[in-house]
Structures are given as structure tokens and as C-alpha cells.
């Protein structure tokens, strides 16, 4: 087992230590087991509406996938770019910890892989979760893809502006290129990447939950 120190990540990625671990626990389940159980996201949607609603179940489904991608993508990208440690996030190897609210709060992985292999697995993971969300809730693929792609571009934008070394900047650039290659030209189609910070092309619908307002920075709609 590799000794990984996630707490060493600098701001704005210091919170990532809470969302990834290499230590298995008694409540972990395999990612493949999660996507075979539609009741997890169904219960998650009910919990989100109970906390932030009343509101639209479609918006709650979007918030569920946004939370998943937030806790999954930022640690993988930040640890890879900053420390050149690329984690095993293959769908077969990755375990998840489901919270009491039936959202995915933590990921369990103990192995490192080459950068290209990790990013290929990251793309496959995104596709698996999008299929799970759409199949379990009847929502649209572009809604959940926008959640993932926005977080990728936002994370890479933050990394690009952290005063990185030459080697780290090369890893940011190669990460963008590898993700584009694996996504057959479709990567980034739900995000406006010509603005800094990036904005969405597809609304996340969060303002359809009574307890949340429209996002102030990334929203594709006029405020």
C-alpha cells in the first residue's frame, strides 16, 4: 500500500483529504455494486429534497451527481497535477462510502497508476455514473455530464493559476489533452471554456430547490 498524504494539498484543494482515503472500512461498497442499486440515488434525491426543498426531483438528481463528481474529480486531478500521483480509479477497483443521506461522500483507493491510465479510468467512471443517474431517475445525459465537465475545467483552471512549476503546468496541459482524446472530441461540449473562470452551457437546475439560489458565477442564464 502506498503512503499517500492527501492533507498536504494546498488551497483551494485542502478539503480533498476528507473525500479520499486508502484505508478500507466496514461500510465501503464497490462502485459496481453502487450502480446496480437504484435505491441509493432514489433515497439520496429524497434526502436532498428534505434538506434543500421542497423542489424538483430532477434538480435533486443533478445535485446528487454534482456532489459525487465534486468529491471524486477534484482530489484525483489535484493530487495528480501537484504531486504526480495518479490514483487507481478504475470502476473495478474503486470503493465508495455512502453517507447517511445516501450520497457518495468518500472514495477508497490504494494504488497508483500511470497518468494516462488514471485519466482513462476517470472518463469511464464519469460515463458509468452518468448512465446510473439517467437510468435510475430518467434525467438527461447532458445534465450530469455538465456537472462533471464543469468541475474538471474549474479544477484545472484553479490549478493553472496557482503559480505551478514548469513540470506541474505540463501535467495540467497533458491532462486536458488526454481527457479530450479519451472523450472522442466530445469533452467540454457542456462548458464554455473561453471564459475564465469557465461557465456552464447546461443549467444545473439548483435554483429549482427552494433552499438554494442560482449559482452566481457559472450559471448559463442571465442573472
Residue 19, C-alpha cell as written in the block: 473525500
Buried b (16+ CB within 10 A) or exposed e, 103-121: bbbbbbbeebbebeebbbb
Residue 194's pLDDT is 75
Residue 5's pLDDT is 56
Reading phi first (left if > 0) and then psi (alpha if -120 to 50, else beta), residue 180 is in: alpha
- For residues 21, 123, 100 and 141, what is the CA-based torsion angle, rounded to 10 degrees? 170
In DSSP notation, 117-185 reads HHHHHHHHHHHHHHHHHHHHH---HHHHHHHHHHHHHHHHHHHHTS---HHHHHHHHHHHHHHHHHTTT
Residue 136, C-alpha cell as written in the block: 435510475
More confident position, 146 or 223: 146
Predicted confidence (pLDDT) per residue in 150-165, tens digit: 999 999 999 999 989 9
* Region 161-186 average pLDDT: 87
Distance, CA of 109 to CA of 217 (rounded, Å): 32
Residue 196, classified by CB atoms within 10 Å of its CB into exposed (0-12), middle (13-18) or buried (19+), is exposed
> Which range (56-70, 159-173, 182-196) has the least confidence?
182-196
Percent of the chain whose pLDDT exceeds 70: 94
3-state DSSP assignment of residue 144: helix
Residue 189's pLDDT is 82
* Region 52-58 average pLDDT: 95
More confident position, 42 or 27: 42
DSSP code, position 112: B
Residue 26, classified by CB atoms within 10 Å of its CB into exposed (0-12), middle (13-18) or buried (19+), is exposed
Percent of the chain whose pLDDT exceeds 90: 71
Looking up cell 487507481 gives 88
Q: Half-sphere exposure of residue 38, counting CA atoms within 13 Å on the CB side?
A: 8
pTM of the model: 0.93
Beta bridge partners of 191: 200
Q: 56 pLDDT exceeds 70?
A: yes
Predicted confidence (pLDDT) per residue in 72-119, tens digit: 999 999 999 999 999 999 999 999 999 999 999 999 998 899 999 999
What would you measure as the largest C-alpha separation in the chain, in angstroms? 49
Residue 1's pLDDT is 44
* Region 124-131 average pLDDT: 96
Amino acid at each position: 500500500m502506498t503512503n499517500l498524504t492527501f492533507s498536504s494539498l494546498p488551497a483551494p484543494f485542502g478539503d480533498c483529504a476528507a473525500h479520499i482515503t486508502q484505508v478500507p472500512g466496514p461500510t465501503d461498497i464497490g462502485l459496481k455494486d453502487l450502480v446496480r442499486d437504484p435505491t441509493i440515488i432514489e433515497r439520496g434525491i429524497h434526502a436532498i429534497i428534505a434538506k434543500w426543498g421542497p423542489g424538483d426531483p430532477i434538480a435533486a438528481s443533478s445535485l446528487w451527481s454534482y456532489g459525487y463528481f465534486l468529491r471524486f474529480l477534484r482530489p484525483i486531478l489535484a493530487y495528480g497535477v501537484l504531486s504526480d500521483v495518479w490514483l487507481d480509479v478504475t470502476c473495478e477497483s474503486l470503493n465508495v462510502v455512502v453517507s447517511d443521506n445516501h450520497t457518495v461522500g468518500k472514495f477508497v483507493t490504494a494504488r497508483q497508476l500511470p497518468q494516462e491510465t488514471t485519466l482513462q479510468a476517470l472518463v469511464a467512471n464519469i460515463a458509468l455514473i452518468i448512465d446510473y443517474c439517467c437510468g435510475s431517475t430518467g434525467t438527461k445525459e447532458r445534465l450530469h455530464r455538465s456537472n462533471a465537465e464543469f468541475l474538471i475545467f474549474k479544477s484545472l483552471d484553479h490549478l493553472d493559476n496557482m503559480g505551478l512549476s514548469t513540470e506541474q503546468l505540463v501535467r495540467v496541459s497533458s491532462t486536458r489533452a488526454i481527457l479530450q482524446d479519451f472523450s472522442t472530441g466530445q469533452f467540454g461540449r457542456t462548458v464554455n471554456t473561453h471564459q475564465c473562470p469557465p461557465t456552464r452551457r447546461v443549467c444545473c437546475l439548483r435554483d429549482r430547490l427552494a433552499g438554494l439560489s442560482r449559482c452566481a458565477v457559472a450559471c448559463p442564464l442571465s442573472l
